[in-house]
Amino acid sequence: MEAPHSPAAETATNSTSAARPTSAARLPVESPEQMQELGRRLAKLLRAGDLVMLTGELGAGKTTLTRGLGEGLGVRGAVTSPTFVIARVHPSLTGGPALVHVDAYRLGGGLDEMEDLDLDVSLPESVVVVEWGVGKVEDLSDDRLQVLIHRMVGDTDDDRREVTLTGFGARWAMVDLMALGA
């Protein structure tokens, strides 16, 4: 089974070639429920100031993963795709960081166009998750986690995915992303 070639995957690979990854993991995901569970496990590693960039084709599972992040972070409100509102803020119910969930799909420019969202202001006290953020938000932080979701092809059903997590910067250098697959 191999992941299909997609422009999103190519963009994600090309945009990070200048920065050096400090940690990485590839994890198989068999169902939407497992994708959500991966989000819950990943939430345990996240803290205020973390930037998470999600890449994958439409329907790959970006919002499903983010829903699990929201559950794991203990935030208020249903985590749904912010496609039409661009960004949603989910305050913490547990005293932890808020979740700022952004969908940059319809935003064409780089960080300049994102400036109106005040992500640079939100980032220090929140976990900021940006769908379709490659090429748009990398300048927010030297430390970021990039999540690439590939649909599996071949002798399989439509729910199978391979999730590649790549940490950049000192924040992710000592994080064992492979432990998320356990």
pLDDT at residue number 78: 87
Longest Cα–Cα distance in the chain: 46
Which residues of the chain are under the pLDDT cut of 50? 1-17
Average pLDDT in the chain: 82
Report pLDDT for 139: 80
Q: What is the pLDDT of residue 30?
A: 92
Q: How far apart are CA 98 and CA 74, in angstroms?
A: 9
pLDDT in tens, 88-124: 889 999 999 999 998 887 666 655 555 555 565 577 8
